[in-house]
Structure 1
Amino acid sequence: MRRFAVPAALLIFLAACGAEPGPENAAAPPATAAGSAAPSGGAVNTSPDQQRIRAQKVDAIAAQVPPAIAADGKLLVGHSGEGAPPLGFLADDDLTYIGVETDLAQLVADVLGLEYASEISSWENLFVGAKSGKLEAVFNNVTVTEERKDIYDFATYRVDQLAWQVAANSPIAAIAKPADIAGLKVSVGSGTNQEKILLDWDEQNKDAGLKPAEISYYNLYGDALLALKSGRIQAYFGPNPSIAYNVAVGADTKIVGTASGAGPDLQGLIAAMTLKDNGLVKPLNEALNTVIKDGSYQKVLDRWGLGNEAIPESRINPPGLPLQEG
């Protein structure tokens, strides 16, 4: 695996607007030490010795891998160095790249009978690498969009989920509809899909004669967390993976609601991406469905606190986020 430089402090994702390029998550939490308490009562392993969950080769699926890809015995998978826990981040040795995306890519490579090989690059270069065929697959929290489907094929493996985070001792039990945020002090990332949803909810409340929300913006997720824990805001609306990991390694916040990252009319989906019509998407899809059925997929998601993003089956090129106007 290639070494790469990642900023020390907080790793920040850019705003998610569906169109490429631009990381799908708006903000990421600060890295935390190994051994922090997880929801299951176990621990989040952030050491370089990951002891990954593995899968068995399935000959019938492996035989479907295009010869040009199978020739070197490896599946070269792209990940972004701009990632963050629990998607993809540096282990405690500051060298080894770990996370849910690497674990799922390993499972798929196992089923295909290939050695998992990773290449870490910028977010933009993941698309360039896949388009050129240099990267055989990309596992990097990429949302399926109609625009991207013109160039790439997709095999889905998680839902694109947003979450509402509140303090652990908050009296707020659930946020599931616009009326639930009426009059609340809330925070969201500027220019993100979740901001669009929040502002739409707020307008619906105003039209219904309900009290508007008091919306605050913070550049860093860490600042939003401090505001949440100090009581300056009552709820934060952001990407579920970052929030779920933060909840997993701490005991001072909780998730009280989730929503599709694509908005109310479409469930957004995260998928493995490969060059369109290169013949790999079908074996990727079948490999994912194999690990979904044998339970190893769920174990990986649960390991990173993302069990609420599981899907019942992988699909090829499902409806994606629509083309952006303008």
Structure 2
Amino acid sequence: MAVGSGRTVRVAVFNNYPPAEFTAAGRLTGWMIELLEPIARESGLRFDVVPVNNFSTIIPGLRSGRFDIAAANLTVSAERVGIIDMVTVDAVGTGFSSAAASGVAIRSGADLCGRAVAALAGSVYEPQLKAVNEECAATGAPPARSSLYPDSSAAVLAAGTGRADVFMGSYSEVVHSARESGRLTVQPYQFARLPEAIGFPKGSPHTEKVRAAVNKLIADGRYRAVLDKWGMADIAIPESRLNPAVDPMGDR
């Protein structure tokens, strides 16, 4: 898949992160995928879009030169900003879901103590869960047990079939997967509303071009129109920023 014109750059996308980017009926779709064409046009670049099955390989691929850009909705963290540049594209909290008939209720971080939690390997959710476990230890409760999967659908399936008590992911993904699977209930607890970003190798000549393109789409309404189409208006940001400072636990 190639979009835009001008200099060709390789753009990694994670093909299993609905509703932002995922494969359905053999083709890439999602709101991030729909934004790539106008971003390419406004930045003057030609995007050679490369679907990636294993999320944990995306940032190493940026750093090794395999990819020029990662439009993979990377959650911004201090660790990541230290090794790549990040241009924000949305902001979303961390959410949880569980099998509808399980009786599991997650109303606070304390309710995760002792639970088996399925999450995406290489994501920000593992360090967030470690921070929750510090709170569990402080109260003498058993820690949550993380089960990490190479793609989100496997983590969702684990929670839906009872191999894990809880699926942990971005709130938009949690809501989407619960709706699509029909077996999961979205839990009321949500924390850490954090920006997600498009990633670049440090010093990339494309970073500011893409950030300017995203801000143009925000200003003229095309960005919001795409998010509205996918029911994602609540994750919109007013301005794309480069490498913002964040609290990894957000506003929990």
- Same-fold call, TM cutoff 0.5: yes
What do the CA deviations read for 1:271-306 (whole angstroms, capped 9, x no partner)?
Answer: 111232233222222221222233332343344454
For residue 132 of structure 2, give the secondary structure of its aligned residue in structure 1. Answer: helix
CA separation of 1:222/1:277 partners in 2, compared to 1, >3 Å: closer, same or farther?
Answer: same
What 5-or-longer segments of structure 2 have no aligned partner?
Answer: 149-154
Matched, 1:298 2:229: no
Question: What's the CA shift string for 1:14-36, capped at 9, x where partnerless?
Answer: xxxxxxxxxxxxxxxxxxxxxxx
How far off its partner does 1:139 sit? 0.5
Q: Which has the higher strand share?
A: 2
Question: Where does residue 208 of structure 2 map in the other structure?
Answer: 282
Q: Could you tell me whether the CA contact under 8 Å between 1:76 and 1:136 is conserved in 2? A: yes
Q: Return the alpha-carbon distance in structure 2 between the equivalents of residues 119 and 201 of structure 1.
A: 40
User: Which secondary structure state, in structure 2, belongs to the residue aligned with residue 105 of structure 1?
Assistant: helix
Paired position in structure 2 for 1:200: 134
Residues 54-109 of structure 1: CA deviation (Å, up to 9, x unaligned): xxx9xxxxxxxxxxxx743x45322245x3433433221x3x22233322322311
Distance in 1, matches of 2:56 and 2:168, equals: 26
Aligned-residue offset at 1:133: 5.2
Tell me the residue number matched to 1:62: none
* 1:314 paired to 2:240: yes
Deviation at 1:187, TM superposition (A): 4.1
Is 1:86 the equivalent of 2:19?
yes
**Residues 162-181 of structure 1: pairs in structure 2 closer than 5 A:** 162-165=94-97, 175=107, 177-178=108-109, 181=111
Paired residues of 1:162 and 1:194 also in contact (CA < 8 A): no
For the residue of structure 2 that corresponds to 1:141, the secondary structure is strand
Matches within 5 A, 1:107-126: 107-121=38-52, 123=55, 126=58
The structure-2 alpha-carbon separation of the partners of 1:259 and 1:104, relative to structure 1 and needing over 3 Å to count, comes to: farther
Q: Structure 1: give runs of 5+ residues left out of the alignment.
A: 3-56, 58-69, 261-266
What are the residue-to-residue correspondences of 1:1-326 with 2, within 5 Å? 1=1, 71-72=6-7, 74-81=8-15, 83-92=16-25, 94=26, 96-121=27-52, 123=55, 126-127=58-59, 129-131=61-63, 135-159=67-91, 161-165=93-97, 175=107, 177-178=108-109, 181=111, 186-189=115-118, 192-203=126-137, 206=139, 212=141, 220-227=155-162, 236-249=167-180, 253-260=185-192, 268-319=194-245
**Any idea what the Cα deviations from partners look like across 1:221-248, whole Å, max 9, x if unmatched?**
31312339xxx95x65444343121134
Tell me if structure 2 keeps the 8 A contact 1:188–1:238.
no
> 2:152 matched to which residue of 1?
none
Matched residue count: 234
Matched residue, 2:151: none
Q: Distance in 1 between matches of 2:144 and 2:31?
A: 32
Q: 8 Å contact 1:77–1:105 — kept in the other structure? A: no
The 8 Å contact of residues 89 and 97 in structure 1, kept in 2 or not, is answered as yes
Q: Distance in 2 between matches of 1:275 and 1:100?
A: 23
Change (3 A) 1:306 1:172: farther
Superposed CA RMSD in Å reads 4.0
Q: Percent of pairs identical after alignment?
A: 24
CA distance in 2, matches of 1:243, 1:290: 29
